[in-house]
Chains A and B, each alone.
Chain A
């Protein structure tokens, strides 16, 4: 009997240890998107200063797989992501709509003039109100919208070539074939 009791702390330690070890593999800052498999929320964005066309959510629901990319000239990670978005645009891989998030008037255009414009259209969200409806937690953030106008996936980090080749590209091919 006593020997059985003695093993309890060891078992407890193992269970708690395993639980903590599992916890270490999880990212507590990752907040899952609430939009997955739901229709893209309604919004309407004006053009950013210097460009002449904004867009509404309806334009992203036209039976085509598209990306909605949240960016800002103030966002350091967006600089890292930008060259690859340019590559996607130049190869006509996919339409990318830009949500210029909390950028002061003129700053977004200046950024696109300097680095190139990978976006089909760019909408102005200076107030951040559209981003709130999308549940945006930071920039860059990219939503994959399917043919039915539903959000199917969200990337909460810069898209790199490697990430595209391994994850996003195949997923988009799959969505296109549906």
Chain B
């Protein structure tokens, strides 16, 4: 049991860490906003992580930049726009809904609709008629045919 708990703790060790101590803003409200922004920005050198999770030097620079912009008075949106202006939509972990991402966003709904339609027509199909049991007349005919042959 203890081993399992330890394993789980180690497993999530990397998830919780955000900015390093020297980066933290004194204002807890601003810092909270900064951490929210960090979680939405992709680290450009280690692309499956956000800059909050990554310990790459470039991620650290970006975290500092986020804080610098917040202290300068930017809104969360402005900070993100500032970074997107430099690194493009690629830095957004959640791709924006726009022309070139329309298919990406619409695909799950389209797939569900197609699957739903398929299932609907499949289930609505008339059930095959159950075979009727043979009656006495047939039975007698069978007996007669069998006798004829044998």
Contact = CB atoms under 8 A, between A and B. Distances in A.
Which of A28, A29, A34, A138 has most B Cβ within 10 Å? A34
Given A28-B47, A31-B44, A132-B65, A137 B88 contact: no
A137 B42 CA distance: 12
Given A31-B88, A32-B88, A34-B87, A138 B45 contact: yes
B137 interface: no
Contacts, number: 37
Contact of B47 (A29, A132, A135): A29
Interface in A120-147: 127-129, 131-138
A129 B61 contact: yes
B58 interface: yes
Per DSSP, chain B at the interface is helix
Per DSSP, chain A at the interface is loop
Contacts of A129: 61, 65
B24 interface: no
A132 B61 contact: yes
Contacts of B65: 129, 132
In the complex, which range does the number of interface residues on chain A fall in? 10 to 19
A109 interface: no
Nearest to A136: B58
Given A28-B47, A31-B44, A128 B58 contact: yes
Nearest to B121: A5
Given A31-B90, A34-B85, A137 B62 contact: no
A82 interface: no
Nearest to B86: A135
A150 interface: no
Interface in A24-82: 28-29, 31-32, 34
Contacts of A34: 85-88
Contacts of A134: 86
Nearest to A134: B86
B73 interface: no
A133 B87 CA distance: 9
Nearest to B60: A128
A128 B86 contact: no
A161 B128 CA distance: 73
Given A34-B85, A127-B61, 13 more contacts: A28-B47, A31-B44, A31-B88, A31-B90, A32-B90, A128-B58, A128-B61, A131-B61, A132-B65, A133-B86, A135-B86, A135-B88, A138-B58
Interface of A: 28-29, 31-32, 34, 102, 127-129, 131-138
15 contacts: A31-B44, A32-B88, A32-B90, A128-B58, A129-B65, A131-B61, A132-B62, A132-B65, A134-B86, A135-B87, A135-B88, A136-B58, A137-B45, A137-B58, A138-B45
